[in-house]
Amino acid sequence: MKLQIQYTANPAIIKLEAPEVLVKGNYQYERDTPVTDSPLAQELLQLPFVKTVYFSANFIALEALPIIKWEDVAQEVTQEVENYLSAGRPIIAQEATPTQESAPAKRIPITIYVESTPNPMAMKFVANKKLVSRVYEYKSPEEATESPLATELFKLPYIKEVFFDSNYISIIRQPRVLWEDIMMELREFLRLYLMEGKPVVKVSVTEQDRPKGLPSLGDVYSRKIVAILDQYVKPAVSSDGGNIQFVSYDKQNQVVKVLLQGACNGCPSSKRTLKQGIETILREMMKNEQITVEAVN
């Protein structure tokens, strides 16, 4: 099994993301605390620099002590975890047929950690569980009728926009407030809301995995562009609390139009990202120096 390393805005924390679900539930283990139900957590906490281990859905999050930098050891640790998983060893030790005497796996309450983004108006609130199966963006209370959580967030006077993706929430604040004045309140609000098991978004089963507003990809060129964006661009912008969505490709003018969402929308560095990042990647991968990229928002 191959794991993808994701560095976060918090230099002490990395995520190892798997292509499949690893655990059902959420688990947290701390250094110097007895670990009885997770052989993998036991091994990871034996590393002298690992402080905390999180398991949730399809990822493992590791928090390091300040004695090392993840850039120096992440590849080695990831290889060890990949070898462990490839050997079929358990993450959480559970009996095949639970009995009354067998202790249930330790489940933890929701934890939320905060990551800054390149957009000073946006902050990323990361949960230790998967929240949604696709992206959702709400720019006003009127747009948020399908989302009980976004509806509650818009009741706070300092919320301007809300964006959900996978296991995190990106929030864009109103310009009249500062993050240091509201960040802890928001973090606790989200933690308590999710701990109570309240829904993030209410959707029908048929809509769960279908993003809204996706264009019809009628030509091979457009499909190739989408594949490049998905593989080479989206992981990077997701780590910054945002998303990029293909809108259209104009063959005659060689213009690719995209929609920037979440923290990417309104970010001061978004123009540089479009020109020096996305446009460069598309020109190289498509072998076409005439391609230009424009954001529709």
The CA-atom distances, in angstroms, between 264 and each of 141, 162, 206, 240, 261 are: 20, 12, 28, 8, 6
pLDDT in tens, the chain (297 residues): 789 998 877 788 888 988 887 887 778 888 888 888 899 999 999 999 999 998 887 889 899 998 889 999 999 999 999 999 998 888 988 633 333 333 334 444 688 889 889 899 999 999 988 898 889 999 999 999 999 999 999 999 999 999 999 899 999 999 999 999 898 889 989 988 988 888 899 864 334 444 444 454 457 888 888 888 888 888 888 888 888 888 888 888 899 998 888 888 878 777 777 777 888 889 888 888 888 888 887
Domain extent at residue 180:
112-196
**Partners of 173 in the beta sheet?**
159
Q: Is residue 74 in some structural domain?
A: yes
**Partners of 99 in the beta sheet?**
none
Same domain membership, residue 182 and residue 125: yes
Q: Is residue 70 in some structural domain?
A: yes
CATH code of the domain containing 191: 3.30.1370.70
User: Tokens in use for 132?
Assistant: 């949604």
pTM for the predicted model, two decimal places: 0.57
Predicted pLDDT at 203:
64
Please tell me the total count of domains within the chain. Answer: 3
The CA-atom distances, in angstroms, between 178 and each of 33, 161, 194 are: 37, 15, 24
**Residue 33's closest CA among 6, 53, 3?**
53
Q: Is residue 80 in some structural domain?
A: yes
Integer Cα distance of 113 and 91 in angstroms: 23
Predicted pLDDT at 242:
86
Same domain membership, residue 235 and residue 160: no
CATH code of the domain containing 275: 3.30.300.130
**Partners of 125 in the beta sheet?**
114, 169
Q: Is residue 96 in some structural domain?
A: no
Predicted pLDDT at 95:
38
**Partners of 81 in the beta sheet?**
none
Count how many Cα atoms sit within 13 Å of the Cα of residue 103 in the half-sphere of its side chain: 8
Q: Is residue 102 in some structural domain?
A: no
Predicted pLDDT at 77:
92
Predicted pLDDT at 275:
74
- For residue 95, how many other CB atoms are within 10 A of its CB? 9
